[in-house]
Structure 1
């Protein structure tokens, strides 16, 4: 309840700030948030995409994610986007011999803006922002080992510990047309955790969609994009 109250308060404050700012920003800033006036229609279709970086991590390391996205094209300038994925981890610590595993979906919603002067070109440079959320369960265990004092076997285990996390992502990326509806693109992400809930066992090693534990984190994607 506390996390929900904090998030609701943050959203309300952001909305009020946006209204106040919109009334006072200079003309140049208002131009940035407007649509370029020409004969091109507002709705220009949508695109679906799939990230290869997360899939590669899933295949060749002990954590990663499968992630896809649906993006709407508004006048080749603004691109509302929904991203969703499945993050997994199956990690053994070489020092502590503790095993960590989780598997859960995550969701992101946001918007990108085409930063190029030629808005209707086949290639794009964009900047954007995402709000992301995941609710996940973790299993933590350690194989039995002899107690150094009493010499009997002892172990450690946590099963289905309920956790969640909210974070923001600042995005910068490119989108290049290859041929027909096929595009390739990459993005860099700066992630900032804004709220989280974890069990009494401490920090979780991996958060689905976010990565290894921490307040801030850098990440990236390499996307195969199909315009529809």
Structure 2
């Protein structure tokens, strides 16, 4: 009888402890994750490595480009590129050179959702580009006609090699940009982008069509063009948010 009474009392005691422990677990506040990851807001500047590489391997091309952007919000960046190019274009009957300076300015929108403290980008953007350049017709072989319809047009075997230069030509265009930037080390980024360009103004040398405009690249018959760059940039953070 005493044994039965002992087990009954022990069961009631354990039940009371169990209910109390559950109540404590319910009422106790769970600690919240208070860690906030911040990223740098500031000026990011660097160079286009592709132009340096092309200048080294292609003797008909010389160029450099400085790139930069400034972060204005969690997604938006003001972006710009400024540079200088000189390109010799070889055609079947002409050789010409375009040389000048350019600037492109616009904005990028980062579509990538970073994890934790990552600071990478997959972005889309737009640019407005302006170039001031000189254009030289280095040599050309004119087509010759005698006026006699029975004699076909022909090209002389000896080209004309007296250069003809026109300065102060102007080019303007719009760009649609897609690119990526990856932070490889703290504040150091490697990036790649491609662009589709639509010319709004490209001035031609008198008597000769512009085949290449600095900053725009090769001018296609449709007044469109393509571009790409491979960049190395460094972020100078002004504030962390």
TM normalised by structure 1 equals: 0.71
Partner of 1:225: 233
Partner of 2:122: 125
Distance of 1:73 and 1:126 partners within structure 2: 13
Structure with bigger gyration radius? 2
Contact (CA 8 Å) 1:125, 1:174: kept in 2 or not?
Answer: yes
In the alignment of these two chains, the number of paired residues is: 185
- Alignment RMSD: 2.8
Alignment partner of 1:194 out of 200, 205, 208: 200
CA-CA distance at 1:135 after TM superposition: 1.2
Alignment partner of 2:66 out of 60, 65, 68: 68
Partner of 1:115: 111
Contact (CA 8 Å) 2:216, 2:226: kept in 1 or not?
Answer: no
User: Would you tell me which structure has more strand in proportion to its own residues?
Assistant: 1
Deviation readout 1:126-149 (Å, 9 max, x if unpaired): 11000000011111122799x898
Gaps of 5+ in 2: 1-35, 147-155, 237-241
Larger relative contact order (Cα-Cα within 8 Å, sequence gap ≥ 6):
2
Instruction: Determine if the alignment matches structure 1 residue 81 to structure 2 residue 89.
Output: no
Partner of 2:18: none
Specify whether residues 76 and 143 from structure 1 end up closer, same or farther in structure 2 by C-alpha distance, changes over 3 A only. Answer: same
Deviation readout 1:83-132 (Å, 9 max, x if unpaired): 10001113444x32x33123211011100011123386321111100000
CA-CA distance at 1:161 after TM superposition: 4.2
TM normalised by structure 2 equals: 0.67
Distance of 2:213 and 2:174 partners within structure 1: 14
Deviation readout 1:161-188 (Å, 9 max, x if unpaired): 4421100111111110111221101011
Partner of 1:100: 96
Gaps of 5+ in 1: 1-38
